Structure 1
Amino acid sequence: MDNLVKQLSELNGPCGYEQNVAYFIRDYVEDKVDSVQVDAMGNVIARKKGGKPGPVTLITAHMDEVGFIIKKIENNGLLRFEKLGGHDDRILLAQSVKVLGSKQELDGVIGTMSAHFVKFDDPKKVRQHANLYIDIGATSKQTALEMGVEVGTPVTWATKSRIIGPEDKQLIVGKALDDRAGCAVLLSVLNEIDKQEFAGEIVFLFTVQEEVGLRGAQTAINGLEDVDVAIAIDTTAVSDTPEETMDQSLFLGEGTGIKVLDFSLIVQKSILEELKKIAVQEEIIHQLEVFPGIGTDGGAVAVANKGIPTGVLSIPSRYAHSPVEAISLSDLIATKELVKAFIFNLNEDTKFTF
């Protein structure tokens, strides 16, 4: 499963430019599902029917990653940029990036002044992204254009994923784990139910533009009027590090997060209780999550059509929206196992009423 996460993480697909990820997923699932399509917005929708009567169950994760977009090329070849999704300006300086030019992917770096100039500057100052620039080695605007860069060229972090930590408590570190880790969960679940009997039909939805307002999920769910129940898979920020704002309520390595509440969703009691019950029965490590500082595609799905009972499973994560996001392999596996157990517990009488 870690190899699948690595493959997905290292694909470049910022908000609105998810093509690399969408086509990878489409091709990956094609022979394992009954149908697959990429809709006009870029969402990948794959459907797989079980052998017994049961509900239509939606499992969803988003494909996009936070990134940047070029807004201006300076005469000296430096690139000004805007954000795609949420970033912390404090971590941008001197980071390696990939500029997704029309001719090739270009290595670049977000520039910063030499440390030798700090004594002439305010060392506590945080420069906003609008004052920063990307250096791709171009010496003029014309050179940058010839390299395939223009206004509107997308940019991502340039990180390669890796494994750190002891063998029994490994962490995966890399870019875009929010939410390629969730995409890996969906693909792994598909692999493991491929030849097994289950009830109803599973709709695997991989969405675009979650990081800029749940846009892909809002679009896709309106075309899926037959969905009876949904589970969204996303990462969530842990609070187990020493910063003074951390409240030690969610931990890396202590299991999948069963969502209770975030700013986009109050999880319906019936589906919350079912997820908790299955986790206990199957001895799947889990923790309950109340975190108003985050939202997921589950928020868009829950209010669609006439309302869809929607749960969320969260993969605990450190350093979200940075080039070095970190998740626990054991939490990832626990999330996958709970999704799979939820599917195998469905039958033709399953209902999640208010």
Structure 2
Amino acid sequence: MIELLKTLTNLSEPCGYEHAVSYYIKEYLEDKTDSVMIDPIGNVIARKKGSKPGPAILLTAHMDEIGFMIKKIESNGLLRFEKLGGNDDRILLAQPVKVMGTEGEVHGVIGTMSAHYVKFDDPNKVRKHSQMYIDIGASSKEEAEEMGIEVGTPVTWGTEFLVFGPEGSRKIRSKALDDRAGCAVLIQALDELKDSTFAGELILLFAVQEEVGLRGAKTAAEHIQADAAIAIDTTAVSDTPEETMDGSLGLSRGAGIKVMDFSLIVHKTMKDMLVKIAKENSIPFQLEVFPGIGTDGGAVAYANKGIPTGVLSIPSRYAHSPVEVIDYTDLEATKDLVKAFILNLEEDQKFPF
């Protein structure tokens, strides 16, 4: 799963520009599912029937990553930018980026004042992103345009995938783990189920534009008929020493089983079922109550007449940064819980309120 995750995160696909990852996933799933398509907004929707009748289960993860968009090219070649998704101004300075120009990816950096000038400035000031700029090495507007840059060009982080940490507790550091890690979980679970029998039908939704309002999932879920759903996403842990952290969620403690966030109070039947299955299969888990986050599960639960929806969370440090970090054992636990849920389905499975 590490190589799959590396491939997915190395694709530069911010909100609204998920094309490469959409087509990669569609091609990957073509011989592993009964049908797969890309809908008009860019969502990838695949279906896989089990060997016996049963419920239709929607499994979803989002493909987009936070990023930026060029809004102006200065006369000296520096690029002004707008945010795509929830970026924190405090961490933007001096970060490498990739600008997705029409002639290919262009490497750049979000510029920062030299430390030698700090004594002439307010060292406590956090400049707004609208005051910042991206340096791609161009010395004029014309040079930047010749490099394939224009107003509306998307931008992603320029950091690379890395596995680190002690042998028994490997960590993964990368951009876009939110939520390519969830995409990897769904793909890997499907791969591992290829010789297994299960009841019902799996509907896999790889959604676009989650980071700007759950837009892809809202659109797709309105025309998908499902008996229940599970969204897989990352979640921000609270196990570091900052004074606002309470230790309620942590890395290396297992998959998160959502109870509540700002987008969803999880359907009790779904939450209880996931907890029961985790215990029966000795899969490590932690319960998550975190109002500071939302997922596509919130959009899916509203669809049609309401879909009973659970959420599995992959614990993550430094979320929405260029160096998001997850624990490989948590990733595996999340994948194992998805598989166990599918194999636990019965022909007459119900998900009552």
| In structure 2, distance between residues paired with 1:256 and 1:148 | 42
- Secondary structure at the counterpart of residue 169 of structure 1: coil
CA displacement 1:53-103 (0-9 Å, x = unmatched): 100001000000000000000000000000000011010000000000001
Q: Which residue of 1 aligns with 2:185?
A: 185
Letter in 1 for 2:216: G
Equivalent position of 2:249 in the other structure: 250
Quick one: percent identity of the two aligned structures? 69
Counterpart of 2:92 in structure 1 is 92
Taking the TM superposition and a 5 Å limit, the aligned residue runs for 1:227-242 are: 227-242=226-241
Corresponding position: 1:215 with 2:200: no
Counterpart residue number, 2:294: 295
Following superposition, the deviation at residue 195 of structure 1 comes to 2.2
Q: Distance in 1 between matches of 2:238 and 2:177?
A: 17
| Paired position in structure 2 for 1:327 | 326
Q: Which amino acid aligns with 2:228?
A: V
1:153 aligns with 2:132: no
Task: State how many pairs are aligned.
Answer: 353
Q: What code does the residue aligned with 1:8 have?
A: L
Which letter does structure 2 place at the counterpart of 1:338? L
Kindly report which structure 2 residues correspond to 1:1-354, keeping only aligned pairs within 5 A, or say none.
1-224=1-224, 226-354=225-353
For 1:271 and 1:221, the matched residues in 2 are separated by 18
The TM-score, its normalising length taken from structure 2, stands at: 0.99
Which deviates further from its counterpart, 3-12 or 62-71? 3-12
Amino acid at match of 2:58: L
AA aligned to 2:165 is G
Deviations 1:210-238 (A, max 9, x none): 000000000001111x2111000000000
Query: Following the alignment from structure 1 to structure 2, what is the Cα–Cα distance between the partners of residues 353 and 303?
Result: 16
- Distance in 2, matches of 1:86 and 1:212, equals 8
Deviation at 1:3, TM superposition (A): 1.1
Distance of 2:270 and 2:119 partners within structure 1: 58
CA positional deviation for 1:268:
1.0
CA–CA distance in structure 2, aligned partners of residues 18 and 296 of structure 1: 18
CA RMSD of aligned residues (A): 0.5
How far, CA to CA, are the matches of 1:41 and 1:79 in structure 2? 28
Q: Deviations over 1:108-137 (max 9, x none)?
A: 000011111111000000010000000001
Deviation at 1:2, TM superposition (A): 1.1
Matched residue of 2:168: which SS?
A: helix
Which residue identity does 2:279 align to in structure 1?
V
Equivalent-residue separation in structure 2 for 1:264 and 1:222 (angstroms) = 17
How far has the Cα of 1:162 moved from its partner? 0.6
Amino acid at match of 1:202: L
Structure-1-length-normalised TM-score = 0.99
Deviation per CA, 1:164-183: give whole Å up to 9, x if none: 11111010000000000000
Q: Which runs of 5 or more residues in structure 2 are unaligned?
A: none
Displaced runs of 4 or more, over 3 A: none
Amino acid at match of 2:338: V
1:2-60 per-position Cα deviation (integer Å, ceiling 9, x unaligned) = 11111111111000000011011011111000000000000000000011010000100
- The whole-number CA distance in structure 1 between the counterparts of 2:223 and 2:267 is 22
